[in-house]
Amino acid sequence: MMLGADVGGTFTDLVLVVEGEVLTAKLPTSEHQEDAIAAGIDELACGSTVDVFVHGTTIATNALLERKGARTALVTDAGFEDIIEIARQDRPSLYDPYADRPTPLVDRSMRIGVGGVSLPAVPEADSIAIALVNGHVDRDREQELATVIARQQPGVPVCLSSVVAGEFREYERISTTVLNAYLTPITSTYLRALDRRLVEPGIVGSLGVMRSSGGLMDVADASALPAAVLLSGPAGGVVAAAAFAQELRHDRVVSFDMGGTSTDVCRIEEGVIEVSYERSIDGYVCRLPSVGVHTVGAGGGSIAWVDPGGALRVGPRSAGAKPGPACYGQGGTAPTVTDANVVLGRIAPETKLGGRLRLDRAEAEAAIGALAGQLGLSVVDTALGIVRITEEVMAGAIRTVSVEKGSDPRGAHLLAFGGAGGLHATALARALGMSGVIIPPFAGVFSALGLLLAPPRADAQRAVLVSDDDFGPVEIAADELNDEVIAALARAGFDDATVSFSVDARYLGQAHEISVAWRPGERLADVRWRFDSVHRTRNGFDRPDDAIEIVAVRGVGLAAPALTIEDVSQWRPTTEQSDTYCDVTADVGTVSARIVARSALQVGDVIEGPAVIEEVESTTYLSPGDIAVVHESGAIEVTW
């Protein structure tokens, strides 16, 4: 029995796989995340022991967004205490003089500068970051300081920049180390509580945590490196999207995950997920690998509002799980995207979300009606406006991961999932000139399924500086990285790891680099042609006559995942189809749409829009002119 549980801002999704049979559950996310997880396990496993449990968590993300992390101290070189506040010289918003960087996570009084051999007294803290300017090369010095601090403040977690992000660029490395220290106590406390509640009583056999880079880590590593799980949930959906894209033989796909709070998109080409080695999360730089997800505050629970200029806006504020959209009937009164879809008939009022929550159309109409009064529009026109604005925000996100990265979305497929993804996918794909839409099976809990398809993974990196064919430093770094990632996976119980490498290269004089594949034994010319090609694709030009240099080596260790796509991609209908119809407001006006139960679809079935395809955890809307065909995997492929 293998279980994946993805905790989102609005819902907690669970997928249990037992000998090829897939069972699912969707519950409102609880204040304490472990409560919803435990309830879902009780519902699905019925008292049986779950052998493998894989978790995608938002605990670290929420702690950062809500500024509920630990009281953190920073130990660095004397004179560099303010580097996390000075940061880089770029402005958060070029044309907004009032835009400012977020407040540093370490107060000025908690930053300690070290000079010479003595260590000044470190203020009492809940967590301590040690990040020396040359920590990426002088690892022993950071370790010596950690030993001294451990004697001064026993039991307080200490994070070393040489361990967290052992690369050059002192600001990015210090920022990442501080971020990690800030999140360590709350993340480790949560994971220990989960371990006590589920593993110690024997409810689950083993517990793994999804890391941002698209692989799994054990509880001990996740507790020590919480900055590596900041995109834990979205990464699961991207992994599953890549697996289904290969199963359907589509080389170019954009994953589109629309949940209750936000939408996450990511480009996948030739089965390869784009991985970024630096990103900003709520204004804080994190120099750790993560899937190349771009997130916008547009989900089913995103609230529609009127700005001071009288324009209709949607998000980023969300109604969340409680009270949720007005149509949930739980006391919410703010109009949301879900309310708009209910008013337009694209979600039938008889629908029970997650099989348990019946929608209230009257409440949805009342909420949208209040907004319509402010705008001087009808309820239906206001609902259409909410949907169109939301779709434009999401289209912008897709352009960000495709057009802005040198990839044309035309010719690619949109692989849509999440509770609300299927409601907007075809409109988005049409607007962007994409080839079609894929709605995978179990779309409403797809990220939870992806957790079970993800391989155990370990990431490590070393700084080097090579600009000729003397690849000795690269080879030495690769040997160290190989031992490091294999040891990390062995500690978690995986002895079958394979290791691959990449190098960060740039033209001499450039300030930023591009990561390209590298195999031991290759030299500069082998790196050169890959780098020029990627640079040309990403930036529109290359400089074949300019010298390049390599500034970092990266190692990735992977072990076998709990499941493969073949284990879950054989579709079997479970119910009988009963044709019913409902009125739906489309762009062309009110039309009669067929209501289709997805659980009753047979392989090869064709559904013509307008239609509403319903399943327990999600809904798919086909507009007039859409044609959907059921693939043998259970995926629905839509063209027009």
Give per-residue pLDDT as tens, 391-448.
999 999 999 999 988 889 999 999 999 989 999 999 999 999 999 999 999 999 999 9
Q: How far apart are CA 450 and CA 440, in angstroms?
A: 12
β 498-507/548-558 pair status: antiparallel
Region of residue 312 (left: phi > 0; alpha: psi -120 to 50; beta: else)? beta
**Percent of the chain whose pLDDT exceeds 90:** 74
101 domain-assigned: yes
Q: Mind listing the pLDDT tens digit for each residue in 5-15?
A: 999 877 899 99
- 3 state SS of 546: coil
Lowest mean pLDDT among 141-145, 252-256, 270-274, 367-371: 270-274
Does the structure show a pLDDT above 80 at 21?
yes
* Per-residue tokens: 396: 């912008």
Closest by CA position to 580, among listed 570, 591, 595, 602: 595
377 domain-assigned: no
Shared-domain flag, residues 76 and 174:
yes
Shared-domain flag, residues 192 and 121:
no
346 Cβ contact list (under 8 Å, min separation 6): 423, 584, 585, 612, 619, 621
β 111-114/72-77 pair status: parallel
The domain boundary residue, chosen from 152, 184, 216? 184
Look up the CATH number of the domain holding residue 37. 3.30.420.40
**Residue that the structure tokens 């119980």 belong to:** 493
286 domain-assigned: no
Shared-domain flag, residues 51 and 144:
no
- Which 8-state DSSP code applies to residue 155? T
Does the structure show a pLDDT above 70 at 506?
yes
Q: How far apart are CA 270 and CA 252, in angstroms?
A: 6
C-beta separation of 615 from 587 below 8 A = no
pLDDT at 58: 85
pLDDT at 591: 95
Shared-domain flag, residues 152 and 80:
yes
Does the structure show a pLDDT above 70 at 355?
no
**Type of residue found at 559:** A
Q: Which helix (H) or strand (E) holds 284?
A: strand 284-286
Q: Mind listing the pLDDT tens digit for each residue in 37-59?
A: 999 999 999 889 999 999 998 88
Shared-domain flag, residues 20 and 55:
yes
pLDDT at 562: 86
With both helix axes pointing from N to C terminus, report the angle between 379-401 and 421-431 in degrees, rounded to the nearest 10. 70
Mean pLDDT of the residues in the chain: 92
pLDDT at 117: 65
Shared-domain flag, residues 627 and 489:
no
475 domain-assigned: yes
HSE-CB at 417 with a 13 A cutoff on CA atoms is 28
463 domain-assigned: yes
User: Following DSSP, what letter does each residue of 20-62 receive, concatenated?
Assistant: TEEEEEEEEPPSSHHHHHHHHHHHHHTTPPEEEEEEE--HHHH
How many other C-beta atoms lie within 10 A of the C-beta of residue 9?
Answer: 19
Shared-domain flag, residues 166 and 75:
yes
Q: How far apart are CA 532 and CA 552, in angstroms?
A: 17
The domain boundary residue, chosen from 528, 560, 592? 560
Q: How far apart are CA 333 and CA 326, in angstroms?
A: 5
**Residue that the structure tokens 């979305």 belong to:** 409
Does the structure show a pLDDT above 90 at 495?
no
Q: Mind listing the pLDDT tens digit for each residue in 320-331?
A: 878 889 999 989
589 Cβ contact list (under 8 Å, min separation 6): none
Q: Mind listing the pLDDT tens digit for each residue in 291-312?
A: 999 988 899 999 999 999 999 9
Shared-domain flag, residues 60 and 72:
no
C-beta separation of 493 from 478 below 8 A = no
Shared-domain flag, residues 32 and 90:
no
500 domain-assigned: yes
What is the CA angle 208-448-224, rounded to 5? 30
Look up the CATH number of the domain holding residue 522. 3.30.1490
| Residue 340: C-alpha distances to residues 191, 371, 380, 549, 598 (Å) | 38, 11, 8, 53, 23
Domain hosting 543: range is 457-560
pLDDT at 358: 82
How many other C-beta atoms lie within 10 A of the C-beta of residue 494?
Answer: 20
C-beta separation of 250 from 414 below 8 A = no
Shared-domain flag, residues 521 and 556:
yes
* Per-residue tokens: 228: 């590596």
Q: Mind listing the pLDDT tens digit for each residue in 439-464?
A: 999 999 999 999 999 999 999 999 99
The domain boundary residue, chosen from 201, 229, 257? 229
Shared-domain flag, residues 462 and 512:
yes
- 3 state SS of 178: helix
With both helix axes pointing from N to C terminus, report the angle between 361-375 and 379-401 in degrees, rounded to the nearest 10. 90
Q: How far apart are CA 622 and CA 596, in angstroms?
A: 11
529 domain-assigned: yes
* Start-to-end C-alpha separation, the chain: 40
Q: What is the total residue count of the chain?
A: 640
Shared-domain flag, residues 466 and 552:
yes
Q: Mind listing the pLDDT tens digit for each residue in 113-147?
A: 998 767 888 899 999 999 999 998 888 999 999 99
Q: How many domains does the chain have?
A: 4
Closest by CA position to 421, among listed 581, 262, 634: 262
Closest by CA position to 639, among listed 382, 436, 503, 461: 436
Helices within 326-471 (DSSP H only): 337-343, 361-375, 379-401, 421-431, 446-453
Residue 606 burial class via C-beta count within 10 angstroms: exposed 0-12, middle 13-18, buried 19 and up: exposed
337 domain-assigned: no
